[in-house]
Chain A
Amino acid sequence: MAIRLKVEKRVDVPRWLPLATSIGSVVLAFIIGGIIFKIVGGKPFVAARFFYQAVFGNWAVFSDTMVKATPLILIGIACAIAFKMRLWNIGAEGQFYAGAFGASIVVLIPIIPLDSPKVLVIGLMMLMGMIFGAIWGFIPGYLKAKYKVNEIITTLMLNYIIINWNNFWIFDKWSDRGFQMTATFDRVAWLPRLADYAKQFKAFSGVTLHLGVLFGIAAAILVWWIFRYSRWGYEIKLIGDNPEAARYAGINISKNIILVMAFSGALAGLAGMSEISGVVHRLQESISPGYGFTGIIVAWLAKLNPFAIIPVSVLFAGLIVAGRELQPAGLSFLLQGIILFMLISSDVLLRYKIHILPTDEETA
């Protein structure tokens, strides 16, 4: 019996469907990734068990995964707020580096005496990280608002620029005895970790989870609130959905482009601060395995929902953790690409209903 496909436009989308397509995309992507891995000579099932062990195996490794998830949460939210307005900020990677630089100068110049209270030092590092990230987001925002310059390319070019800028300082002025890194920061500049409280709570010994994860959760709540209750959030959504209508409604689009880009940059900058203050404790060359780009996929997979970004970040953090050990090295990158591809392809299911009909029941 022959069959034919009948495609019709969906009038309304069932609530469960977006979640189902997201999960389906990830599962399908893992299957395809596994097949490719098999073709290049890997053992997919061994790798999968390894992946599970490396991510959720015990508290220590799960804490390690959460540490990797922290910058992803902040960057995912940074991307989500820009994407809501259909602003393609793909420079979160650069804004992350800018934030790391801003936070570092607090300690390295130093801007504040290092015998100040920890709260002040950390607070100032957060502020400077956010300011530098915001500047790195402001530039493409301003160019887009003022001269209609494509933000995709400017944000990307700014990534290369800031990485070389940081490298100059790391290799030159702040180099620690000629190594390609600065000296380790004074402990006052370290974000508190659970392991610091191992004396009081035995279970915390060796647990690297640091305060930065709370920044991520706070950012998720803030952005959720902005979109749910604030006028600004409404304006952003309207510009994203229908710029013409927004213009007629008298919304200042140029101002919002600049604001959203700077805000997005500030969140990514905070991620940079949290990473150097909570994990590496100094400025060095490779502080990111591509968090800025993975954050894009995280935001998209979470359908730009700030709370959904948290679990999705944990999944991708797992990919990064496992990817460090897995060979060949590009595998986690490949998997991320396939996931994103499956995801946008599956969106067609949200727009159209596809019926499979036997030809003899043909109605259309």
Chain B
Amino acid sequence: MNFTIILHAGIATGTVLLFAAIGEIFTERSGILNLGVEGMMLLGAMAGFSTSLTTGSPWLGVLVGMLAGGALSLAHGVVTIHFQADQVVSGLSLTFLGTGLALVLGEGLTGQNPPLLLDYNIPILGSIPVIGPAIFQDHGILVYVGYLMAPMAWYYINKTRPGMHLRAVGQKPSAADSVGVNVYGIRYLYTFVGGCLAGLAGAIISLSVSPGWYSTQTTSGQGWIAVALVIFAQWNPMRAALGGYLFGMLRRLILDLQGPRILLGFTNPLYINSNYSFFLIMTPYLLTIIALIFGSRAVAKKRAGSPSALGLPYVRGERGK
């Protein structure tokens, strides 16, 4: 076990959670709760993988993966924004729909080897001792984009005019409407943005981080972890990024624990009985619950973070939210 390796792997897997969680933050900030992240990610992973296989271009794959996630999210948009359906149920059905579509269209993709996204080094920064190789070497371009994504998203939401409109629509749509902000339009836009980012996160998995198509195992619940991360991060992109990387590191640490024979001076129990690894596999899910308990307590205490119109449909002239 080596810190640099764990940090390196943690950043790579954390990037997936980062994009998905930031996408969901955009969507939820506009007042739309989209629980279909897992479905959009899986569809994005399949579409990206399949496109790269047929066209030979992994970047075209990334683009198609994004659009696939975005297109799926629009179904959620129509149903919740125009038809005012329950956002929770719609999000759940989006998960079913995305998973089903990905499995049907992804039939036969397992074991294929399309061209993948390449890894790059950043000169100079990469030669910083210990952290340089972990943060600035052998990562896909999208990992480096991820570093910029969180501060940019934070700045956009909190400091720009469109970001202010976004927050207004999520906090008090009737007030935003009365000053001429297009509530429906903005909600559609950010539902689509969230979908694209979830699709992108999926394509990053299948084309870079853990390449391949393993049906539902490709995402294995990471979409749901991203949804949990949004609450834990209190709808703040910077905290979501940090949480994503930490989570990624933990996943890697869990994997690495299975290797050594002696652990902290004791015989590694996993070395004696490999079946104990089932307890390791549960840890990320257990940690998600624990993180959520702390996150929820913080949200409840401060009464802040959560957009007040989250999950509520907006109908002009009805309920004065």
Quick check: which of B16-24, B173-181, B259-267, B293-301 contacts chain A, the rest being far away?
A: B293-301
Q: Which residues of B contact A347 (CB under 8 A)?
A: 83, 85
Residues of A within 8 A of B84 (CB): 348, 351
Selected interface stretch from B141-149, B182-190, B235-243, B279-287: B279-287
Given A152-B35, A164-B279, A330:B104 Cβ within 8 A: yes
Tell me, yes or no, whether B100 is within 8 Å of chain A by CB.
yes
Q: Is residue A225 within 8 Å, beta carbon to beta carbon, of the partner chain?
A: no
Question: When the two chains form their complex, are residues A161 and B97 in contact, meaning their CB atoms are under 8 A apart?
Answer: no
Kindly name the residue among A88, A296, A341 whose own CB sees the greatest number of chain B CB atoms within 10 A.
A341
Smallest Cβ-Cβ distance to A346: which chain B residue: B83
A333:B92 contact, CB within 8 angstroms: no
Partner pick for B107 among A161, A328, A338, CB 8 A cutoff: A328
A335 within 8 A of B: yes
Measured in the bound complex, the distance between the Cα atoms of B235 and A106 in whole Å is 46
Q: Indicate if the CB atoms of A334 and B97 lie closer than 8 Å.
A: yes
Residue A252 CB within 8 A of the other chain: no
Q: How many residues of B contact A (CB 8 A)?
A: 52
Within 8 A of A (CB), among B266-321: 273, 275-276, 278-279, 281-282, 285-286, 288-289, 292-293, 296-297, 299-300
Report whether B275 and A348 are in contact in the complex, using a CB–CB cutoff of 8 Å: no
Judge whether B221 is part of the interface by a CB distance below 8 angstroms.
Answer: yes
Q: Is the Cβ of A333 less than 8 Å from the Cβ of B103?
A: yes
Residue B13 CB within 8 A of the other chain: no
A348 near B83: Cβ-Cβ < 8 Å: yes
Interface 0/1 of A40-65, CB less than 8 Å to B:
10000000000000000000000000
Whether B105 pairs with A40 at a CB distance below 8 angstroms is yes
A153 touches B104 (CB 8 A): no
Residues of B within 8 A of A158 (CB): 285, 289
Establish whether residues B83 and A148, one from each chain, have CB atoms under 8 Å apart when the complex forms: no
B88 and A147 contacting across the interface, CB-CB below 8 Å: no
A160 touches B103 (CB 8 A): no
Give the complex CA separation of A36 and B95 in angstroms.
17
Asked whether B85 lies within 8 Å of A328 as measured between CB atoms, the reply is no
Task: Confirm or deny: B96 has a beta carbon within 8 angstroms of a beta carbon on chain A.
Answer: yes
Q: Is the interface of A mostly helix, strand, loop or mixed?
A: helix
CB distance from B1 to the nearest CB of A (A): 22
Cβ of B5 within 8 Å of any chain A Cβ, yes or no, is no
From residue 53 to 112 of chain B, which have CB atoms closer than 8 A to chain A?
75, 78-79, 82-86, 88-90, 92-107
B193 within 8 A of A: no
Chain B: CB-nearest residue to A162? B282
Residues of A within 8 A of B92 (CB): 90, 296, 340
Taking the complex as formed, is B227 at the interface, i.e. its CB lies under 8 A from any CB of chain A? yes
Q: Does A256 sit within 8 A of B, measured CB to CB?
A: no
Given contacts A156-B224, A337-B96, contact A327 B293 (CB under 8 A): no
- Contacting pair B85 A331 (CB below 8 A): no
In the bound assembly, the distance between CA atoms of A329 and B95 in angstroms comes to 16
Cβ < 8 Å to B, chain A residues 285-313: 293, 296-297, 300
CA distance A250 to B78 in the complex (A): 38
Query: Which A residues are in CB contact (< 8 Å) with B97?
Result: 334, 337-338, 340-341
In the complex, B47 has a CB within 8 A of chain A: no
The answer to whether residues A150 and B93 also contact, given A333-B99, A344-B86 and a CB cut-off of 8 A, is no
Q: Does B102 contact A164, Cβ atoms closer than 8 Å?
A: no
The answer to whether B231 has its CB under 8 Å from any CB of chain A is yes
- In the assembled complex, the CB of A238 is this many whole angstroms from the nearest CB of chain B, namely 18
Asked if B297 and A36 make an inter-chain contact with CB atoms under 8 angstroms apart, the answer reads no
- Report the bound CA distance from A336 to B89 in whole Å: 13
Contact B293 A333, beta carbon cutoff 8 Å: no
- Whether B282 and A164, one on each chain, are in contact in the complex, defined by CB atoms closer than 8 angstroms, is yes
Contact A344 B103 (CB under 8 A): no
* Cβ of B228 under 8 Å from chain A: yes
Partner of B296, one of A88, A150, A172, A329: A150
CA distance A152 to B288 in the complex (A): 12
Chain A residue contacts of B35, Cβ below 8 A:
152
Contacts of B105 in A (CB 8 A): 40
Report yes or no: B228 in contact with A153, Cβ–Cβ below 8 A.
Answer: yes
Contacts of A154 in B (CB 8 A): 289, 292
Extra inter-chain contacts (17) besides given A147-B297, A331-B100, CB under 8 Å: A40-B107, A88-B88, A143-B289, A149-B296, A152-B35, A153-B289, A153-B292, A154-B289, A164-B281, A172-B275, A329-B107, A330-B215, A334-B96, A336-B100, A337-B98, A340-B96, A345-B83
8 residue pairs of the A-B complex, CB under 8 angstroms, read A157-B228, A161-B285, A164-B279, A165-B282, A168-B275, A297-B96, A330-B215, A336-B100
Which 5 interchain pairs have the tightest Cβ spacing? A330-B103, A334-B100, A337-B96, A337-B97, A340-B93
